[in-house]
Amino acid sequence: MNLETLKKDFFDVFTTKKSVLKNNFRRIFKNRDKSFVYFSPGRVNLIGEHIDYNGGKVMPLAIDSGTFGVIAKRSDQTIRLYSKNYAKEGVSLFENGHFSKKDRPSWTAYVIGVVFALSKRGILLPNGFDLWLYGNLPSGAGLSSSASVEMLTAFALNDQFRLKLTMLDLVKIAREAENHYVGVQCGIMDQFAIGFGEKDKAILLDTNTLEYEYVPLKLPEMKIVIINSNKRRELAESKYNERLDECKLALSLLQKEGVAIRNLCDLTPEDLSKNLHLFNTRLRKRVRHVVTENDRVKKAVRALSEGDLLTLGKLLNTSHVSLRDDYEVTGRELDEIILAAWASGSHGARMTGAGFGGCAIALVKTLEIPAFRRRVLKHYKRIIGYTPSFYIASPSGGVRLIG
């Protein structure tokens, strides 16, 4: 399997042509009014995992696959939603201003959650809309398919209804939809990367201040390979919120002791060693991951700027070990993928996303990718019993109007 085949598996060029998307929209909704096509990417996080909700630095990148949406405004207050990915669910109807999730397909929460978040800010849409969606991100894989839908919805509504919101406003609204409507207490990284992504660049984001800079991804003769474990995970039903609560508890213990910090990532490695006695074994491990992962992001930026891919690869490896042993969010499937990647010629590999299933990333020499894929697939199928999927992560621009 060559690189082009890997990319085509992830990106159906025909299905995502603008004319095809609009024809699908008209066929479903029988709506002949003028429609508009938008694209919202997914994201992978190069390094800096589970620290966005702890005020840390992260390094995500938008990728060239994601969610396509076709939208047209209506003259009444009806909102009609359809997803090609969940075609059996049919068209879902809502009334503008009514946000009940009862008896609704779960995916619609990512759209209606944005309308809900807008209303909480006093922004009421003057009328309804029809929205047709198709995503070529594997759902539940940790590539931010939910944030992709949220950002597409926020961007499209802002554009269609001339709401005059900034990109940062849209990022915050999409996060509020996830936190307060969907019910996942995520940080801001996913929505930020999808909003502010740029081609061939990662984003170094300080999640405490929201200051950011672009980091050119100079990977000569090397690619970032995404490996999907194909173990689906649902964040709202996972231990994600449990980890967040553990971090909040650790922070409160430090603050009660008089440690002058606002976020766990304000803690230096030196301060951590002085205050380990405050925590039981479980919290000690959680805090150790948060502090050391934040430090690894800073080192990764330096390694990229110096073209030191050997050090970058080592940082990816130690990140996974920390996520596995201290934060305990990897699971058997991701661990087997990483073990296989380490033994199959990668220059560094780690889980990416929230964990509990989902995806890993690996730095692999371009010419060695086919052999790498064969070895990892063989190992994973022998141990786990089914096959993973492989894609190339190409840094992409952020959410945008296609036309």
Closest CA to 348 of 323, 315, 376: 315
Q: What's the token pair of residue 112? A: 């209606």
The answer to whether the beta carbons of residues 114 and 330 sit under 8 Å apart is no
- Residue 226 neighbours by CB distance under 10 Å: 26
Residues 6+ positions from 306 with CB-CB distance below 8 Å:
none
Cα–Cα dist 84/88, whole Å: 9
Closest CA to 226 of 362, 109, 47: 362
DSSP label at residue 368: G
Active site residue 206: no
**H or E element, residue 145:** helix 145-160
Considering the candidates 52, 130, 190, 266, report the single residue annotated as catalytic. Answer: 190
- Residue 300 neighbours by CB distance under 10 Å: 26
- Residue 306 neighbours by CB distance under 10 Å: 10
Closest CA to 301 of 287, 289, 311, 290: 311
Which amino acid would we find at residue 245? D
The answer to whether the beta carbons of residues 30 and 82 sit under 8 Å apart is no
Exposed, middle or buried: residue 397 (CB in 10 Å: 0-12, 13-18, 19+)? middle
* Angstrom distances, CA of residue 232 to CA of 138, 251, 330, 336, 357: 9, 31, 13, 16, 6
Cα–Cα dist 15/33, whole Å: 22
Give the active site residues.
190
